[in-house]
Amino acid sequence: MPNKVIATVVGARPQFIKAAPVSRALKDSFQEILIHTGQHYDYGMSDVFFEEMEMQKPNFHLGIGGGNHSEQTGKMLIELEKVLNTIKPNILLVYGDTNSTLAGALSAAKTNIPVAHIEAGLRSYNRTMPEEINRVLTDHISTFLFCPTDVAIKNLAKEGITNGVHQAGDVMFDALLHNLTLARKKSDILFRLNIAKSEYALATIHRAANTDDKEKLKSILDGLASLETKVILPLHPRTSKMMNEWNLSVNKNIDLIEPIGYFDMLILQENANCILTDSGGVQKEAYLLGVRCITLREETEWVETVEAGWNILVGANSQLIRDSFVNWFPKTERIKFYGNGDASVKIAEILKQI
């Protein structure tokens, strides 16, 4: 067994997806200890991803669950420090921009463990977003910063971060390439929902800025209701909670479904006529799959997708949602922004040299 120990902190479904290819690349050189904070804790948002992608089960499950940002992050810090003092890893690895990301990085910094941040350097430049605060703080306490794009490198340089910075490509591209073939074989989601390629739009809504504002959430649902196509909307627990609290209903063209696994999600994305989302990861996957994306935000960390003409920002404006769906279509070929699908191998090679 390798004598170098790397601890990986995950807590939300995008992190499970990103961690899978990196874990495969690390296994020959590191003993990886997987720590699940429990930020996403129900089966549809957590366990199913480990099962589908044949990932090792977490060595530690902290069971933090929900709560406001400060409460959730504080609980994670307490429990993570206990684990890190027990296992004493050589490196701590974090992904993206969730509360689990920041808590992992802070816990490691406080216990003098070098932090490696995958998906470093992304910026929306909207400091009202909790994700923006999480990613900025994590970058500034990380020793190794693995950037998915050239833009991310430039963002870090603007903040004076140049040491330990690497352009490795995007691990989510690695995950997509590995899993899409499996998804095509294993997923029967189109059959189960009785839909066919290009006959529906796919929507996701989960960011607090949209779900926790009644007028914004209602406007988004009104925009989806105005589309002359079936809309498949896998319902995030937060979105479901707020819709129930405010008694918001949906039009008959919108099919609300439970949260789904990664394979089902890939197939729904690949075959949609349009994707409407406030998710950063889904925006990028839409680009990689060649599906036009309408982003339900006023800014994005994936600026390349907008500049390339495959992503358009409409916020929570119902009229813009409808107008963009009807009138806006990509007019250019997709540029290869996110590497060649070998980001995980590059990251593992760099970490092995420490």
pLDDT tens for the chain, 354 residues long, are 678 999 999 998 889 889 999 999 999 999 999 999 986 555 444 566 667 777 778 999 998 877 777 888 999 999 999 999 999 999 999 999 999 999 999 999 999 999 999 999 999 999 998 999 999 999 999 999 999 999 999 999 999 999 999 999 999 999 999 999 999 999 999 999 999 999 999 999 999 899 999 999 999 999 999 999 999 999 998 899 999 999 999 999 999 999 998 899 999 999 999 999 999 999 999 999 999 999 999 999 999 999 999 999 999 999 999 999 999 999 999 999 999 999 999 999 999 987
Q: 188-197, long-range: CB within 8 Å, 24+ apart, which pairs?
A: 189/260, 189/264, 189/267, 189/268, 190/267, 190/268, 190/271, 193/232, 193/255, 193/257, 195/230, 195/232, 195/271, 196/271, 197/271
Cα–chain-centroid distance for residue 282?
Answer: 7
| Residues whose CB is less than 8 angstroms from the CB of residue 82 and which lie 6 or more positions away in sequence, other chains included | none
CB 91 within 8 A of CB 116: yes
Catalytic-residue membership of 206:
yes
Please report the domains of the chain, with CATH numbers, ordered by start residue. 5-170+339-352 (3.40.50.2000), 178-327 (3.40.50.2000)
The predicted structure's pLDDT at residue 49 = 63
| Residues whose CB is less than 8 angstroms from the CB of residue 241 and which lie 6 or more positions away in sequence, other chains included | none
The predicted structure's pLDDT at residue 69 = 78
* DSSP sequence for 13-80: HHHHHHHHHHHHHHTTT-EEEEEE--SS-SGGGTHHHHHHTTPPPPSEE-------HHHHHHHHHHHH
CB 22 within 8 A of CB 348: yes
Catalytic-role residue among 36, 117, 206, 236 = 206
Cα–chain-centroid distance for residue 29?
Answer: 26
The predicted structure's pLDDT at residue 44 = 47
Beta strands in 97-142 (DSSP E): 115-118
The predicted structure's pLDDT at residue 47 = 67
The pTM (predicted TM-score) of the whole model is 0.89
Spatial distance between the Cα atoms of 316 and 219, rounded to a whole number of angstroms:
6
Closest by CA position to 318, among listed 231, 244, 240, 218: 218
